[in-house]
Amino acid sequence: MNSEFVDLIYLDPPFNSNRNYAAPIGSKAAGAAFKDTWTLSDVDLAWVGIIAEQQPNLSAVIDAAGMAHGKGMKSYLVMMAVRLLEMRRVLKPTGSIYLDCDPTASHYLKMLMDCVFGPTGFRSEIAWKDPRRSALLHEDRRLALECRLHGIRPGIRRALLPIR
């Protein structure tokens, strides 16, 4: 894909939930499974070296998260960093990226996005509110971090959107 070609990216990656998922028997997706646990054997170790050499700030964030949260988080963030760098390459300077995540890794992903897109690129955090509950979902809350490269004046705004 050409560089600076895409206007909008919406990314809904694995959440690093440390769980394995399988579709229920009898469903249309029966037999499908998904592993949301990460180890260094899940990532190409060459990526770690490339990130360290070409993106030292990004590498430092990944290493710090690995020290604080363990090798599983480090592996997950390496996988995400490689993808975010490619998304930065294809995203137009006027484009936006929305990253859907949950509190498991949202703070680390925000730091990765600051390294990749610049700290002033962050525009807002979007939180979904389940209309069946009176409070914001904390343990199940999913965040969408919006990072617009240019445009609206930087600042954090919070918006509550109903979960359907």
User: Where are the domains positioned within the chain?
Assistant: 6-13+39-162
pLDDT per position in the chain (164 positions), as tens?
899 899 999 888 887 878 888 888 888 888 888 787 877 787 888 999 999 999 999 999 999 999 999 999 999 999 999 999 999 999 998 888 888 887 888 889 999 999 999 888 888 777 766 566 655 544 444 455 555 554 333 443 444 444 44
In the prediction, which pLDDT does 23 show?
81
Using CA atoms, how far apart are residues 37 and 70, in angstroms rounded to an integer? 12
What the block records as the tokens of 3 is 């560089």
CB burial of residue 63 (10 Å; 0-12, 13-18, 19+): middle
Cβ atoms < 10 Å from Cβ of 109: 27
Global confidence as pTM: 0.76
